[in-house]
Amino acid sequence: MQESYPVIAKVPTHIFTWGKWIEESLGDQKEIVLCITGNPGLPGFYTQFLSTVYECLNKELPVWVIGQAGHDEADDSPYKKPVPPLQGNENMYNLQGQLQHKIEFIRKYVPEDVKIHLIGHSIGAYMALELLKIPDISDRVQHCYFLFPTLERMAGSKNGFIATRLVNPVWFALRWFYRMFALLPLFVRTWIIYLYYLVDGIPKYYLGTGLKYMNPDVIDKIWFLAMDEMKKVNELDVETLAKNKQRIKLYYGTVDGWVPVKYYHELKQRIPDIEAELCTRKYEHAFVLRSAAQMGYSVEQVSAFIQLAVSVRNEKLCRGTQKIGNHLLKIRSSQLTVVGEGFNVSSLWTNYVNIV
């Protein structure tokens, strides 16, 4: 695993990679996996999940994760760089600015001949869907996997109601609290966060990321983006989903305060043949905190599907139709033994046949 803070869209941005680093030549590798985080957009919260995904891919494909602009500031050199403040730079940190941030990253670091498997979590799924409307980006996207996707009516969800009607009116008081918290000595802040993690069942593995999260300037940007999401994420983009349904898979939760189960059922009514499934293990919306490894194994079939797509394309180019058939039979036999909670094997097999 490698990490750094390259400047993207004028903002130092925390990037983690497994496999090739973003500035390394990919050589003959023509596929990557790119994850767009939710909000809060600190990629440190995604390391355990994506490490598991990388393992499920047999470490054959590079896996990259990009956070949200301004949500993760480096503590020390050599990574420490000035981050533009929120005031006066609102267009860099709102929803459209965050989308432009991802566009610039892809255009700068992903070669045009490399295909992308996009994983979008929460608002990251919304951004990934928007990327499919941009021709030069869409042409590079092989598949999209939307996890607990906030694609519509965010303000109308339970958590959206709490955020907009209950929390936002008293946000000025909360701002005073977390700014006072930041003045405490580091060891005191660390112990408070550690105790909170202990009570809430969050692994201490994320303690360092939690400390970064409590940076007042970071919280300001997180909340600013959240309120912009409430205003702008309203109607479901049925047209784009239907147009790209063959390369999109969606994974909904049953205990998700941001995405009610009815959103899943309504989606299936409007686009019956889209690949969308409900989690039955009651993973939370913020699954990266308490169920990262479990979720990583749950989407093992997604990883397997990526491998299938790559393998089939390589077989077509290099070995001819007969060897593809033999490979397909071997994969089919092995995939039927997979036990997971992610996308079901029958749908995986159907899409594999469609690729062939």
Region 187-205: what's the mean pLDDT?
93
- Spatial contact of 245 and 350, defined as CB atoms under 8 Å apart: no
338 domain-assigned? no
What are 256's strand-pairing partners? Answer: none
Please tell me the distance from the alpha carbon of residue 287 to that of residue 52, in angstroms, as a whole number. 13
Helix axes 300-318, 345-355, angle to 10 degrees: 20
What total number of domains does the chain contain?
Answer: 1
77 domain-assigned? yes
pLDDT at 199 over 90: yes
pLDDT of residue 25: 87
Region 18-28: what's the mean pLDDT?
89
Catalytic residue among 256, 291, 298, 303: 256
202 domain-assigned? yes
pLDDT at 270 over 80: yes
CATH number, residue 113: 3.40.50.1820
More confidently predicted of 183 and 332:
183
Q: What is the pTM of this model?
A: 0.84
- 122 classed as catalytic: yes
- Spatial contact of 337 and 301, defined as CB atoms under 8 Å apart: no
pLDDT band at 344 (very low <50, low <70, confident <90, very high): very low
353 domain-assigned? no
Catalytic residue among 71, 72, 101, 122: 122
Amino acid at 298: S
331 domain-assigned? no
Please tell me the distance from the alpha carbon of residue 68 to that of residue 150, in angstroms, as a whole number. 15
- 121 classed as catalytic: no
pLDDT band at 308 (very low <50, low <70, confident <90, very high): low
- Spatial contact of 310 and 62, defined as CB atoms under 8 Å apart: no
Region 66-84: what's the mean pLDDT?
86
349 domain-assigned? no
Please tell me the distance from the alpha carbon of residue 13 to that of residue 191, in angstroms, as a whole number. 27
Q: Model confidence over 213-254: pLDDT tens digits? A: 999 999 999 999 999 999 999 999 999 999 999 999 999 999
- 285 classed as catalytic: yes
- 60 contact partners, CB below 8 Å, separation of at least 6: 307, 310
Q: Model confidence over 109-148: pLDDT tens digits? A: 999 999 999 999 999 999 999 999 999 999 999 999 999 9
- Spatial contact of 118 and 111, defined as CB atoms under 8 Å apart: no
Catalytic residue among 71, 101, 285, 298: 285
pLDDT of residue 355: 38
Please tell me the distance from the alpha carbon of residue 337 to that of residue 106, in angstroms, as a whole number. 36
> Domain residues for 65?
2-310
323 domain-assigned? no
345 domain-assigned? no
Region 1-29: what's the mean pLDDT?
92
